[in-house]
Amino acid sequence: MSERKDFLRTIVEEDLKSGKYEEIVTRFPPEPNGFPHIGHAKSIVINFGIARDYNGHCNLRMDDTNPSKEDIKYVEALKDAVEWLGFDWGNSVHFTSDYFPKIYDYAVELIKMDKAYVDSLPEEEMREYRGTLKEAGKRSKFYKRTVEENLDLFERMKKGEFKDGEHVLRAKIDMSATNMKMRDPLLYRIKHSHHFRAGDAWSIYPMYDFAHCLSDYIEGVSHSICTLEFENNRDVYNWVLDTLGLKPKRPYQHEFARLGINYTVMSKRKLLEIVQSKQVSGWDDPRMPTIAGYRRRGYTPESILNFCDQIGIAKANSMVDVAQLEFCIRDDLNTKVPRVLCVLDPLKVTIENYEGSEELDASYFPDDIDKKGSRKLPFSREIYIERDDFMEQAPKAYFRLTPEQPVRLKHAYIIKCKEIIKDASGAIVEIKAEYYPDSKSGSDTSGVKVKSAIQWVSFADAKPIEVRLYDRLFSDEAPEGIEDINADSLRVVKNALIEPSVLADKPDERFQFERQGYFYADPIDYTDEKPVFNKIVGLKNSWAKKTKVVEVASKPEVKKAQIDGEVVPMSDAQKILFAKYTDKLGLNSEVANTLARDEKLSSFYGEALSVFSIPVGLANIVANDVARELKEKQLDELKFNASQIAGLVKMIDDKTISSKIAKQVFEEMVKSGENPTKIVEDKGLVQISDPSKISPIIDEVIAKNPDNVAKFRAGNTKLIGFFVGQVLKATGGKANPKVVNELVSKKLKG
């Protein structure tokens, strides 16, 4: 059991102590309309975890009351997920559809008690009659139907005599209840639809509010744990059970905060759209936030369980950083998996003074002397190293192989570069090297100093593999769905080379490819002919810096200055710059660090500053967007210049454009070298800040989403983000977010 006792466990313990229940029975009640995602994992861990902790039982129940979207394949996926996470649902999976006859009987009972009636208002009017938060609703004229009439109509609904939507069964509660959910909620609707289990037996299906509490009751559930958005449904839950007199041992509903993770979409509906769009290979694509996706990517059940434990159980919604999930898998694998050598982008090295070949004894855990396990690593005259582990003209802080600087081959010898072979275009195709015979790892008497050890593979023995490198699936921190998919989230390296031991058996194992990250043999596509490995996660949190600043950027110079996590000290000149940036210009230390360490960037920045002195705004763009361009290009190859960048930042600063639009303008500048002001004019990208222009758009969004308005007014203030997002979208990102935010708040509260 986890050490912290959460509020749910506190309730459970009190209920056991007071004798309210003798046995704890919980349930995990998914609708089989999609693959379970990481949010479901949290619910699984809570429900099964509590049952386990208190010697109780947790049912796996398919909440299959909406036939048109459900499918047996989702049932299987749900079972797989629960099992993989290590939980046991006992003898059989439960289905709400198994209770349809009983639930029907309860409905008949309610009608007989005059607590339910058949309503035949058109949907539109029914919505109007519900009233608003401020106004009471009113009842339809059908409310007055007699018990006999209702029984007759309900039976004929069941027999299939009516069309979809013609009638519904409603509870007779209170049309002026402050809780809108209590305004005569729907209990049954007509739906002529084939059910994947019940077949065509039913023409009516119970609504969540009716089916859920009764299913809980039928199964003898004690604690019905659900997410916060069902808070208002609790009154209905209680009303149904109380009105039917289902006592004394009956379930009670308790709500917890649902899990939200940044850069992640957690809605089965949206995930289905993504699957259907074919932008991923399926529900189990390793980039998907589904349990099947994480599993295929190489995550372990332990890492997901640890994550759920770390985030805890709360009563207030919050957003978790996706880095925390990555931390959990890295943390789990770090102590468990063997370290092996793999080269992603091979550069040939011929060691001219080495003859023959040998097999080196190489520990699987070179950094942990307590851990045993090793393999034979073939070494020979011709090897491959990683292309970027050699540089002809290296900066000072480059610690790997250069014409002047020797390097250690991990587990093997130290080599030095003798000659660089280039092709006609000037690209390096091979290095001729020499090794130091007395520098063998473990018995090095050479006295040669090196600054790092790099991975390599033997030319004759290495095996080609395909490596799939993943980036986050969504480019937006709070992605809406399909429109925020990162088009570069998958990079396939077709011909990486790996040391032979890894492929000796079909590895259902995870590995650390030294200096590259953690990898897993793809359970679906891996074959002996074509071994495929998925990158599970990198060795370090490469996003930590990125999320703080405006945009994701690779910081090439800084990266090169880091060897296995150690940061190279700054030169005195860099230190002075750094101090100026942080103390005088108010830059944060990440950005200051990036700029100060890179001469190209700092001079570009200085030039831009002299045009418009907007230190922070300029620094963000230079350290991120400009830096990204300079990764592959020299300064004089850029189409834009410092003064144009200053112009771009000026427009953000004086609110002519939003920073989101600025990204678009920047992309255009990269391509065309056009002036930012001209791009903004030509494309009509000027930010809209005038409330009278924004106001009607907001009204429209509000009118289109009555349900969310109701939820907001019922207390779900988080929905403000939804409304702001919709308005921004409607304006193509041009509306001033601050103004939108203020106006939306005012109108929703209004």
Count of positions (residues) in the chain: 750
**CA 282 to chain CA centroid, nearest Å:** 16
Angle 220-223-224 (CA atoms, 0-180°, nearest 5)? 90
Q: Determine if 357 is a binding residue for ligand ATP (CB under 6 A).
A: no
Residue window 257-286: x/- pattern of binding to ligand ATP, with contact defined by CB under 6 A: -xx------xxxx-----------------
Residue 42 or 628 with smaller CB distance to ligand ATP:
42
Residue showing the smallest CB distance to ligand ATP in the complex: 39
Does the annotation count 31 as an active-site position?
yes
Catalytic residue among 31, 149, 382, 607: 31
Cα separation of 700 and 300, whole Å? 46
**CA 746 to chain CA centroid, nearest Å:** 32
- With CB under 6 A as the contact rule, the residue among 30, 298, 338, 676 that binds ligand ATP is 30
Q: Rounded to the nearest whole angstrom, what is the least distance from the CB of residue 40 to ligand ATP in the complex?
A: 5
- With CB under 6 A as the contact rule, the residue among 43, 97, 512, 534 that binds ligand ATP is 43
Residue 26 or 441 with smaller CB distance to ligand ATP:
26
- The set of residues, in sequence order, having a beta carbon less than 8 Å from that of 303 and lying 6+ positions away, is 325, 328, 329, 331, 332, 333
Number of residues this chain uses to bind ligand ATP (CB under 6 A): 16
Q: Determine if 251 is a binding residue for ligand ATP (CB under 6 A).
A: no
Residue window 125-144: x/- pattern of binding to ligand ATP, with contact defined by CB under 6 A: --------------------
314-346 CB burial, b ≥16 within 10 A, e <16: eeebeebbbbebbbbbbebbeeebbbbbbbbeb
Q: Determine if 66 is a binding residue for ligand ATP (CB under 6 A).
A: no
Residue 282 or 691 with smaller CB distance to ligand ATP:
282
Place of tokens 């059991």: 1
Residue 31 or 166 with smaller CB distance to ligand ATP:
31
Does the annotation count 258 as an active-site position?
yes
Cα separation of 272 and 473, whole Å? 14
- With CB under 6 A as the contact rule, the residue among 29, 615, 617, 676 that binds ligand ATP is 29
Q: Rounded to the nearest whole angstrom, what is the least distance from the CB of residue 205 to ligand ATP in the complex?
A: 15
Cα separation of 29 and 218, whole Å? 14
Angle 533-536-542 (CA atoms, 0-180°, nearest 5)? 130
3-state secondary structure of 116: strand
Long-range (24+ apart) CB contacts under 8 A made by 111-115 are 111/147, 111/150, 111/151, 111/154, 111/169, 112/147, 112/151, 113/243, 114/147, 114/172, 115/171, 115/172, 115/243
Residue 79 or 258 with smaller CB distance to ligand ATP:
258
Tokens of 367: 């950094």
Residue 39 or 301 with smaller CB distance to ligand ATP:
39
Q: Determine if 600 is a binding residue for ligand ATP (CB under 6 A).
A: no
DSSP symbols for 18-58:
TTS-SS-EEEE---SSS--BHHHHHHHHHHHHHHHHTT-EE
Residue 43 or 501 with smaller CB distance to ligand ATP:
43
- With CB under 6 A as the contact rule, the residue among 2, 66, 179, 227 that binds ligand ATP is 227
Region binding ligand ATP by CB under 6 A among candidate stretches 38-46, 85-93, 498-506, 649-657 = 38-46
Does the annotation count 22 as an active-site position?
no
Q: Rounded to the nearest whole angstrom, what is the least distance from the CB of residue 404 to ligand ATP in the complex?
A: 55
**In Å, what is the CA distance from 524 to each residue of 293, 508, 534?**
12, 11, 11
Omega into 248 within 30° of 0, i.e. cis? Answer: yes
Region binding ligand ATP by CB under 6 A among candidate stretches 26-34, 451-459, 585-593, 719-727 = 26-34
Where does 244-283 have alpha helices with state H? 268-276
- With CB under 6 A as the contact rule, the residue among 9, 40, 61, 734 that binds ligand ATP is 40
Q: Rounded to the nearest whole angstrom, what is the least distance from the CB of residue 506 to ligand ATP in the complex?
A: 34
Q: Rounded to the nearest whole angstrom, what is the least distance from the CB of residue 592 to ligand ATP in the complex?
A: 37
What residue ranges in 309-413 does DSSP mark as E strands? 318-320, 339-340, 342-343, 346-351, 357-363, 374-380, 382-386, 407-409
- With CB under 6 A as the contact rule, the residue among 6, 15, 31, 599 that binds ligand ATP is 31
Catalytic residue among 69, 115, 191, 258: 258
3-state secondary structure of 637: helix
List, by residue number, the catalytic residues. 31, 258, 268
Which residues contact ligand ATP by CB under 6 A? 29-31, 39-40, 42-43, 63, 226-227, 258-259, 266-269
